[in-house]
């Protein structure tokens, strides 16, 4: 076997270093997340993925669980879970994943009946999620054979901060050591701390188990980024600076995709690009922007995508 020439070795080393640098850059780049499932007229999940705008899409919502209830999925007209018609989205999910879009199942939402009352209940719900949406097996998987990438906590109900910490811990016990990487995300309100997720002693966001936290900077005027009558945006920036201290890998700025998507908090794309993103992208915890939701996203993500990265 011939010895490798010095110049060949140098070329290989340079190539490897370049690949490492590209990987680091890619992994640290911001991306856009959104929610899909709460408007039956918004189009298919595959169409959302095919926009090329999103890194994560949260399928919303599993809004019935805990309290001895049979878990219930509500996709607002897209399909009927009890009759099994939601399995039609299995191939969409798999195609999205093949194209680099991660698909999470979102728990909770504003409407539903859910709570975690004990460790046993947390373990039971976690096992249901594992068997029916993640890497486990069940004869009645609501979204078919597709294996989702993670679980999102959009929690707006419940008793005490510790309830959802128990659920997050139970999910992680099942996903650790799995054949693929599974993610946990959360969507707290921007008022710090969130009433159901924390941070706070014993809370879900004190577990250190969450990869992504998309903070809802809307419908809460005290911490929105919209300037007040004097042009002051300090409420939003102060809230952001609190949230980047949370125990999560990446923090996202959650915004309405249009003026009709929320009561308050919409930021025009040009203002976001010129005024808000430069302030928050300097944080090492910056992960990108979450937009609520796909049904309202008529060009907003396209306008901001290159600046979010």
Six token digits for residue 82? 């009890």
d(CA 45, CA 92): 6
d(CA 143, CA 133): 7
Residues in the chain: 309
Judged by phi (left if over 0) then psi (alpha if -120 to 50, else beta), residue 299 lies in left
Planar angle of CA 184, 211, 252, nearest 5 degrees: 110
- Is 162 considered catalytic here? no
Six token digits for residue 78? 């897209």
**102 within 8 A of 183, measured Cβ to Cβ:** yes
Nearest Cα neighbor of 126 from 87, 169, 155, 184 is 169
d(CA 49, CA 297): 13
**159 within 8 A of 115, measured Cβ to Cβ:** yes
- Taking the CA atoms of 126, 291, 281 and 199 in sequence, report the sign of the dihedral they define: negative
Angle between helices 119-133 and 162-175 (to 10 degrees): 40
Q: Residue 56, SS3?
A: strand
Residue 18's contacts (CB-CB under 8 Å, 6 or more residues apart) are none
Half-sphere exposure of 132 (CA within 13 A, CB side): 20
DSSP symbol at 237 = H
Catalytic site positions = 156
């Amino acid at each position: 076997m011939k010895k490798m020439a010095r110049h060949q070795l140098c070329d290989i080393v340079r190539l490897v270093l370049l690949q490492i640098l590209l990987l680091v850059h890619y992994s640290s780049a911001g991306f856009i997340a959104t929610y899909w499932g709460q408007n039956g007229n918004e189009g298919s999940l595959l169409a959302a993925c095919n926009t090329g705008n999103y890194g994560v899409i949260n399928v919303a919502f599993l809004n019935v669980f805990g309290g001895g209830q049979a878990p219930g999925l509500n996709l607002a007209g897209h399909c009927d879970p009890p009759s099994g018609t939601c399995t039609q989205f299995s191939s969409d999910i798999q195609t999205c994943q093949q194209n680099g879009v991660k698909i999470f199942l979102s728990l909770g939402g504003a409407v539903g009946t859910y709570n975690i009352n004990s460790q046993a209940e947390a373990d039971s719900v976690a096992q249901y999620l594992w068997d029916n949406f993640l890497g486990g097996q069940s004869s009645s998987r609501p979204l078919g054979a597709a294996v989702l990438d993670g679980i999102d906590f959009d929690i707006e109900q419940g008793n005490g901060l510790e309830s959802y910490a128990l659920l997050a811990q139970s999910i992680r016990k099942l996903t650790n050591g799995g054949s693929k990487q599974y993610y946990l995300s959360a969507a707290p309100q921007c008022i710090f701390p969130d009433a159901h997720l924390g941070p706070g002693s014993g809370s879900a966001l004190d577990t250190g188990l969450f990869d992504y936290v998309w903070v809802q900077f809307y419908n809460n005027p005290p911490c929105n980024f919209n300037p007040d009558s004097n042009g002051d945006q300090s409420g939003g920036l102060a809230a952001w600076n609190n949230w980047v201290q949370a125990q999560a890998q990446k923090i996202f700025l959650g915004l309405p995709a249009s003026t009709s998507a929320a009561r308050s908090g919409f930021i025009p794309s040009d203002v976001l690009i010129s005024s808000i993103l430069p302030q928050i992208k300097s944080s090492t915890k910056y992960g990108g922007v979450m937009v609520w939701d796909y049904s309202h996203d008529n060009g907003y993500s396209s306008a901001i995508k290159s600046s979010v990265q």
